[in-house]
Amino acid sequence: MNNSALLSFLCLFALLHQSLAASPQFNVIQFGAKPDGRTDSTSAFLAAWKQACSSTRGVTLYVPKGRFLTRSMLFKGPCRNSAIFIRIDGTLVAPSDIWAIGNNPNWIEFQYVNGVTISGGVLDGKGAPLWSCKLAGRKCPTGATNVLVSGVTSLNSQMFHVVINFCRNVKLQGVRISAPGNSPNTDGIHIQMSTGVTVVNTKVATGDDCVSIGPGAANLRIENFACGPGHGISIGSLGKNVNEPGVQNVTVKSTTFTGTTNGLRIKSWGKPSNGFARNILFQHATMNNVQNPIFIDQRYCPDRNCPDTVKKN
């Protein structure tokens, strides 16, 4: 599974902070962004980020109402302050041309940031043209995915919506993720190699896993979560590699699954590996029209050419 994303976090720390009313504000329009949905505003967003990141005080990066077209953007740290509040009142729009992002794995990416809050707004990944390309079996770019934090909506990501990778203490709350049930590889939230991740009061409707939890995830809590359509909440696949970090201390409670292929799933490859899943708690789950409410698959293999599995004596 390719874990490219609309909004991706590769971070030392990604922490939620309260917005400071007196903090300096950098409005992307002041840097040349156009809210018409047609003009490429990529450079303006990156220029605003550069100013915010170089400030020694906490700042607000503001995206006003309107539709802002952007190509792939990398917001890179470390920054000189640890209190950047990104307030989005408008909509960020990906290019309709599937080759405009091409094989870049992420549309919007944050790296090595500490103390960033993203609040509000809509991220429109314009995924339909890429989905059609894949479903038709044509040669297509890999596509991109999406990451959100508080009160944000992710719409029609080309691939994964939210990716949390190498992060600590991340909280997603009030997030809304939406893509059709037949949109391929559009995982809602993917978490791996991260600890202390919390997902609360969130709704995901998509064409793949609502949440996928990969190797190296620990101390994860998902609560008051709605999934459907989609493939459910999945731990794994695990054990694809011989040497692989495990998944541990995961709590999933107060969830509702509606019209999904799976509810709660753990999947691992049937071959030697030191990977593991332990201290997993699934509690208070409601299933409505779910094909496989609880599914533990220890011989997972989505491809025809499966690796050799462990032989039983």
Structure tokens at 271: 């071959």
Residue 127 near residue 96 (C-beta atoms within 8 A): no
Residue 190 is a catalytic residue? no
Exactly one of 17, 190, 231, 284 is catalytic; name it: 231
List the beta bridge partners of residue 9: 110, 164
Select from 192, 186, 244 the least CA-distant residue to 214.
192
**Which 3-state string (H, E, C) describes the chain?**
CCCCEEEEEECCCCCCCCCCCCCCEEEHHHHCCCCEEEEECHHHHHHHHHHHHHCCCCEEEEECCCEEECCCEEEECCCCCCCEEEEECCEEECCCCHHHHCCCCEEEEEECCCCEEEECCEEECCCHHHHHHHHCCCCCCCCCECCCCECCEEECCCCEEEEEECCEEEEEECCEEECCCCCCCCCCEEEECCEEEEEEEEEEECCCCCEEECCCCEEEEEEEEEECCCCCEEEEEECCCCCCCCEEEEEEEEEEEECCCEEEEEEECCCCCCCCEEEEEEEEEEEECCCEEEEEECCCCCCCCCCCCCCCC
Catalytic residues: 231
